[in-house]
Amino acid sequence: MKQAELIELLERIAPPELADDFDAGRIGLVIDLLYEKNRSIERIAVALDVTQDVLLKAAAFKSDLLICHHTPLFHPITSISQPLAQRLKIIFENNISVYAMHTNYDNAEGGINTVLADKFQLKNRIVTDFGIIGTIDKVSTDDFAKTVSKELRTHLMYAGSRTVEKIMICGGSCLNRYALSIAKENGVDLFLSSELKHSDFLRERGDMSVIDAGHYATENPGMEALALRLKEEIGS
């Protein structure tokens, strides 16, 4: 597939205009070694984070493009640390371009939050600024936490003992006072996300159950789904 065609496909999957304001300049082709729009992209790797291990695997696969969720260069830099230098060295030596799909993919239909909602079969869905609210068959917090741990293949932390039916989910670091207040205002029984701050929990939780399943575990299913989708649309 040609570069321009692939980028057009990625922008259909996660339109850039869906990104939050803080992502300006941080999504799309953040490391461009493709050189020309007509270049053929033969091999693509997909990952949540641009780690050294991911890059070594992408290089071994001879990837032309690595599609990631979290850009490797989020903050402007005036100096390059050794870990960043090592990652950039792999990128440049192996001619791997990097395409970031962050909050635009969080918010897109079929993206991070939709995949998470599908995994737990949320019905009657409402999209909010911090994820998706929906309903499930009534279950205890304990039993739902066990289901989350099994489905996301992760350890987790949770609080609450109520029976839950109305759920709010958000991939990544959404367990903050703003999202918790939205969940509470909407009468949510349980909020599933990650990176819970203790003071926010005490201030905003009320009697709502909360599950912190980790940043990676709540977002990586969306990247796995993206890899499968690209394989279906482009071919192996």
- Is 129's pLDDT higher than 70? yes
Q: How much is the pLDDT for 36?
A: 67
The dihedrals phi and psi of 55, each to the nearest 5 degrees, come to: -65, -40
Note whether 40 and 1 are within 8 A (CB).
yes
Query: C-alpha dihedral over 31, 33, 39, 45, to 10 degrees?
Result: -60
Note whether 96 and 58 are within 8 A (CB).
yes
**Of 78-82, 108-112, 119-123, which range is least confident?**
78-82
Question: Percent of the chain scored above 90 by pLDDT?
Answer: 85
Higher-pLDDT residue of 89 and 40 is 89
pTM value is 0.93
Q: How much is the pLDDT for 133?
A: 98
Kindly report, residue by residue over 160-191, the tens digit of the pLDDT. 999 999 999 999 999 999 999 999 999 999 99
Question: Percent of the chain scored above 70 by pLDDT?
Answer: 99
Contacts of 125 (CB under 8 A, 6+ apart): 117, 132, 133, 134
Between CA 121 and CA 55 the distance in angstroms is: 34
3-class DSSP state of 157: strand
Q: Which domains does the chain have, with CATH numbers?
A: 3-106 (3.40.1390.30), 112-215 (3.40.1390.30)
Q: How much is the pLDDT for 27?
A: 96
Contacts of 59 (CB under 8 A, 6+ apart): 90, 93, 94, 96
Q: How much is the pLDDT for 235?
A: 74
